[in-house]
C-alpha cells in the first residue's frame, strides 16, 4: 500500500484556492468590460465627462459620449458583465468568509501566512531578499511552508487587498451606501472609492503575475500538482 | 482507506442533498416574501437574486445618501437619449401644458395629472446622486411629488407588486417593486436645482429612484401602471434594460 505523505495543502485550502481563482478571473474580465464604458477616474464624490479626470486610460470605449480620440465605439457588454461581476463577487465573498474563519480557527494564518516577528527584522528580511533573488528552487522548509517574502505577499492580498476591493466595490452601490453612508464618505466619496477599486485591481493583477511567474520558475508541475492533490512530489518530499 | 473514502463519500452526498433541499426550501420562502427579482431565471440570475434578497432585507427603509448644497455638481451630465418622438416638440412649445401623466392598472381611481397639477401638489426635495451603471455620477437637487402620494391618491390594490412607468419615448419603460414605489425618496421629479426640469435631464417629468442606478430613473414619463405581473410589458423582464440583458434591480 501507498505510504501516506504529509499533506502540503489541506483540502479546504485547495478547494477555496481554486474557487477563488475562478471567481477572480470572472471578476477581472467583467471588470475590464465594465471599465471600458467609462475609462476615466476622478477623486471625491462625483465625476462625469464634464469633470476633469484624475486619469484617463487611452483606450477605445464602449460609449459614444466619451471622446478618447478613437473613431470606433466598442460593443456594449455591460449587461452580462455586470450580472457576472456581482455573481462572482458573491462567490468570492462567501468563500472568502469561510476561508477567513478556517484560517483563524485552524491556525493556517498563524502557521502559514503571517510572518513571525523575528522574520521581519530588517537585516533578516534583507538577507532573505538577497537569497530569494539568487535561488528559485524552494529549500526544505519552503517546500512545506512559506518564506517571509511569500508570507508578506499572501498576507497583503488576504488581509489588505481583498478586504479593500470588497469595501470599495460595495461603496459604489447606492443601496449599500443608503445603509452605511460612512463607508463611502470616509474614503472621500463614490468616485474616490471607484478609483481605489481600480488601483487595488492593478495591485491584485500584479500579484497574480508574480504568483504565476514564481510557480513556473520553482516547478510548475510540483506547485500546481500540490495545490490540486495536496501532496508534494516524491523528490521534493525527500529533499 | 476505502472505508474512510466511502464514509466521506456518503457524508458528502448527504450534505449535498441536504444543501439542494435547503436551497429549494429557502427559494420558496424567499419567493413568498417578495425576495426574488423578476429576472431570477436569466443566466446569472442566482447572484442577482442573492443581491436583491439581501438588499430587500437590509434596505427596505434606508434612505439614499443626501448631500449638502455645496456638493451639487456645477456641470451635471445629461446622458444621450434617442431622438424624441414627433409629438414631443409641440408639447414643449406649449410649455408642456398638454403633457399628461396617466396612472392606471390595479388602482381604484385611474387618473391623468397635468404638470401644473403635480407642481401644486406637496413636494419632496432631495439632494441626491444620479449614478450611471457606466461608472460616472453627479449630484443635483431634485423636487417632485412622492410616488407614494400619487399611489395613495389613486388607491392602489393591496395585491399590487410592481409599478411600471413609461416614457414618451416608445418602448422606454422600467419598473420597481412596492418597497421602492412607496419609499419616501422615490419621486416624480418636475424640478431640478430650483428650475423646471430641463429637457436633457428628463423634463417635464422624470422618475427619480435614488437608491438605484440612473437607468431606473426614466425620463419623460407619461404613464404609470400598477400591476402584479410584469409579463405583459415589453419582453416581460420589467424594463427595457432588463429586456436587453441588464439587471432589473439596480441597487447593486
Question: Residue B3's pLDDT band (boundaries 50, 70, 90)?
Answer: low
Residue B146 is part of a domain; what is its CATH number? 3.90.420.10
Say if A36 falls within a structural domain. no
- Give the minimum alpha-carbon distance from B105 to chain A in angstroms, rounded to a whole number: 28
For residue B86, is pLDDT > 90? yes
- Name the residue among A196, A138, A195, A131 with its Cα closest to residue A163: A196
Q: pLDDT digits over A13-47, tens only?
A: 999 999 999 999 999 999 999 999 999 999 999 99
Q: Give the model's pLDDT for residue B18.
A: 86
Searching chain A, which residue's CA lies closest to the CA of residue B242?
A79
Distance CA B39, CA B37 (A): 5
Q: CB distance A34–B135 less than 8 Å?
A: yes
Q: Mind telling me how many Å the CA of A61 is from chain B's nearest CA?
A: 11
Identify the domain containing residue B71 by its residue range.
64-243
Number of domains in chain A: 1
Cβ contact, residue pair B71, A45, below 8 Å = yes
Percent of chain B topping pLDDT 90: 85
Which chain B residues are closer than 8 Å to A48 by Cβ? 73, 75-77, 132, 136-138
Residue A95 is assigned to a structural domain of this protein: no
- Does residue B75 fall inside a structural domain? yes
Contact B252 A174 (CB under 8 A): yes
Q: Which residues of B touch A84 (CB under 8 A)?
A: 44, 47
Residue A175 confidence class, pLDDT cut points 50, 70, 90: very high
Cβ contact (<8 Å) for A87 and B131?
no
pLDDT digits (tens, 9 = 90+) for A104-124: 999 999 999 999 999 999 999
CB contact A201 to B (< 8 Å): no
Taking the CA of residue B59 and the nearest CA in chain A, the distance in Å comes to 6
CB < 8 Å from B in window 75-114 of A: 78-80, 82-84, 86-91
Average pLDDT (A180-192) is 98
What confidence score (pLDDT) does residue A3 get? 45
Contact A174 B77 (CB under 8 A): no
Q: Tell me whether residue B228 is in a domain.
A: yes
CA distance B223 to chain A (A): 26
A80 and B44 within 8 Å at the Cβ level: the answer is yes
Q: Is residue A92 in some structural domain?
A: no
A45 found inside a domain: no
Q: How far apart are CA A41 and CA A53, in angstroms?
A: 6
Interface contact flag, A83 B131, Cβ < 8 Å: no
Residue A88 in any domain: the answer is no
The DSSP output letter for A161 is: I
CB-CB: which of B62, B134, B251 is closest to A37?
A: B134
What pLDDT, on a 0 to 100 scale, did the predictor assign at position B2? Answer: 47
A149 assigned to some structural domain:
yes
What's the CA angle centered on A133, arms A130 and A138, to 5 degrees? 105
Range of the domain at A229: 119-239
A137 pLDDT more than 80: no
Residue A106: CB partners within 8 Å, gap ≥ 6?
Answer: A10, A12
Cell of B179: 418597497
How many CB pairs lie under 8 A apart between chains A and B? 129
Q: Which of B186, B185, B222 is nearest to B202 (CA)?
A: B222
Number of domains observed in the structure of chain B: 1
**Calpha distance A75→A62 (Å, rounded):** 6
Instruction: Specify the pTM.
Output: 0.93
User: Is the residue at B26 inside a domain?
Assistant: no
From chain B, the residues in CB contact with A46 under 8 A are 71, 73, 129, 137-139
Q: Which of A145-149, B88-92, B201-205, B246-250 has the lowest mean pLDDT?
A: A145-149
Q: Are B240 and B218 in contact (CB under 8 A)?
A: no
Tens digit of pLDDT for each residue in B238-252? 999 999 999 999 999
Mean pLDDT of chain A: 93
Q: What was the ipTM of the complex prediction?
A: 0.92
Interchain proximity A90–B47, CB inside 8 Å: yes
3-state helix, strand, coil in chain A (%, to 5): 65, 0, 30
Tell me the nearest-neighbour CA distance from A207 into chain B, angstroms.
25
Cβ-based neighbour number of residue B190 at 10 Å = 24
Give Cα separations from B126 to A185, A191, B187 (angstroms): 18, 20, 10
Mean pLDDT over all residues of chain B? 94
Distance CA A92, CA A209 (A): 19
A46 in reach of chain B (CB within 8 A): yes
pLDDT band at A5 (very low <50, low <70, confident <90, very high): low
Please check whether residue A101 lies inside any domain of the structure.
no
What is the C-alpha separation between A67 and A136, in angstroms, rounded? 47
pLDDT number for residue B4 = 56
Report how far Cα A163 is from the mean position of its chain's Cα atoms. 10
Is A173–B58 a contact, with Cβ atoms under 8 angstroms apart? Answer: no
Question: Does residue A200 form part of some domain?
Answer: yes
Within a domain: B199: yes
Distance (Å) of CA A208 to CA A24, A109, A197, A214: 10, 20, 16, 10
Look at A179 and B133 and tell me if their CB atoms are within 8 Å: no
Alpha-carbon distance B211 to nearest alpha carbon in chain A (angstroms):
5
Closest-CA distance of chain B to residue A194, Å: 8
Does the pLDDT value for residue A1 go beyond 50? Answer: no
Cis peptide leading into B204, omega within 30 of 0? yes
**pLDDT confidence bin for A2, thresholds 50/70/90:** very low
The pLDDT value recorded for residue B9 is: 75
Between chains, do B133 and A78 touch, taking CB under 8 Å as contact? Answer: yes
CA pair distance A37, A238, nearest whole angstrom:
53
* DSSP designation for B110: -
Q: Is B162 within 8 Å of B178 (Cβ atoms)?
A: yes
| Interchain contact, B43 vs A83, CB within 8 Å | yes
Q: Which tens digits make up the pLDDT trace of B18-36?
A: 888 888 888 888 888 889 9
CB contact under 8 A, A84 and B47: yes
Q: What is the Cα–Cα distance from B107 to A169, expressed in whole angstroms?
A: 39
Q: Which residues contact B78 (CB under 8 A, 6 or more apart)?
A: B198, B200, B201
Amino acid at each position: 500500500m501507498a505510504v501516506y505523505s504529509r499533506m502540503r495543502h489541506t483540502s479546504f485550502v485547495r478547494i477555496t484556492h481554486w474557487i477563488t481563482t475562478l471567481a477572480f478571473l470572472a471578476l477581472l474580465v467583467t471588470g475590464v468590460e465594465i471599465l471600458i464604458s467609462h475609462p476615466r477616474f476622478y477623486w471625491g464624490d462625483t465625476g462625469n465627462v464634464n469633470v476633469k479626470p484624475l486619469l484617463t486610460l487611452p483606450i477605445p470605449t464602449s460609449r459614444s459620449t466619451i471622446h478618447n480620440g478613437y473613431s470606433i465605439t466598442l460593443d456594449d457588454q455591460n449587461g452580462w458583465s455586470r450580472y457576472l461581476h456581482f455573481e462572482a463577487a458573491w462567490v468570492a465573498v462567501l468563500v472568502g468568509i469561510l476561508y477567513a474563519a478556517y484560517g483563524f480557527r485552524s491556525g493556517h494564518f498563524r502557521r502559514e501566512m503571517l510572518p513571525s516577528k523575528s522574520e521581519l527584522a530588517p537585516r533578516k528580511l534583507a538577507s532573505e531578499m538577497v537569497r530569494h533573488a539568487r535561488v528559485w528552487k524552494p529549500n526544505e522548509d519552503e517546500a512545506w511552508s512559506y518564506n517571509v517574502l511569500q508570507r508578506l505577499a499572501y498576507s497583503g492580498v488576504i488581509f489588505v487587498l481583498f478586504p479593500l476591493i470588497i469595501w470599495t466595490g460595495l461603496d459604489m452601490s447606492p443601496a449599500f451606501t443608503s445603509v452605511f453612508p460612512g463607508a463611502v464618505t470616509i474614503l472621500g466619496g463614490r468616485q474616490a472609492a471607484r478609483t481605489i477599486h481600480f488601483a487595488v485591481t492593478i495591485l491584485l493583477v500584479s500579484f497574480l503575475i508574480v504568483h504565476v511567474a514564481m510557480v513556473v520558475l520553482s516547478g510548475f508541475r510540483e506547485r500546481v500538482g500540490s495545490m490540486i492533490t495536496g501532496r508534494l512530489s516524491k523528490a521534493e518530499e525527500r529533499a | 482507506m476505502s472505508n474512510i473514502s466511502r464514509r466521506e463519500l456518503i457524508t458528502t452526498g448527504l450534505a449535498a442533498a441536504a444543501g439542494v433541499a435547503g436551497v429549494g426550501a429557502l427559494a420558496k420562502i424567499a419567493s413568498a416574501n417578495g425576495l426574488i427579482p423578476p429576472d431570477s431565471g436569466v443566466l446569472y440570475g442566482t447572484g442577482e437574486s442573492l443581491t436583491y434578497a439581501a438588499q430587500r432585507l437590509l434596505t427596505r427603509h434606508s434612505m439614499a445618501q443626501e448631500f449638502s448644497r455645496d456638493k451639487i455638481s456645477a456641470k451635471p451630465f445629461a446622458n444621450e437619449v434617442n431622438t424624441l418622438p414627433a409629438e414631443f416638440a409641440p408639447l414643449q412649445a406649449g410649455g408642456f401644458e398638454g403633457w399628461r401623466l396617466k396612472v392606471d392598472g390595479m388602482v381604484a381611481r385611474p387618473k391623468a395629472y397635468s404638470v401644473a397639477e403635480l407642481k401644486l401638489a406637496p413636494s419632496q426635495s432631495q439632494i441626491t446622486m444620479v449614478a450611471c451603471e457606466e461608472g460616472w455620477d453627479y449630484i443635483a437637487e431634485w423636487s417632485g411629488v412622492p410616488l407614494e402620494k400619487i399611489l395613495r391618491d389613486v388607491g392602489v390594490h393591496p395585491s399590487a407588486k410592481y409599478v411600471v412607468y413609461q416614457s414618451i419615448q416608445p418602448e422606454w419603460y422600467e419598473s420597481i417593486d412596492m418597497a421602492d414605489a412607496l419609499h419616501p425618496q422615490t419621486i416624480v421629479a418636475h424640478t431640478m436645482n430650483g428650475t423646471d426640469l430641463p429637457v436633457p435631464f428628463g423634463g417635464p417629468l422624470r422618475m427619480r429612484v435614488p437608491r438605484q442606478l440612473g437607468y431606473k430613473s426614466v425620463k419623460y414619463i407619461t404613464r404609470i401602471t400598477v400591476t402584479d405581473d410584469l409579463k405583459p410589458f415589453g419582453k416581460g423582464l420589467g424594463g427595457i434594460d432588463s429586456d436587453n440583458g441588464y439587471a432589473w434591480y439596480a441597487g447593486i
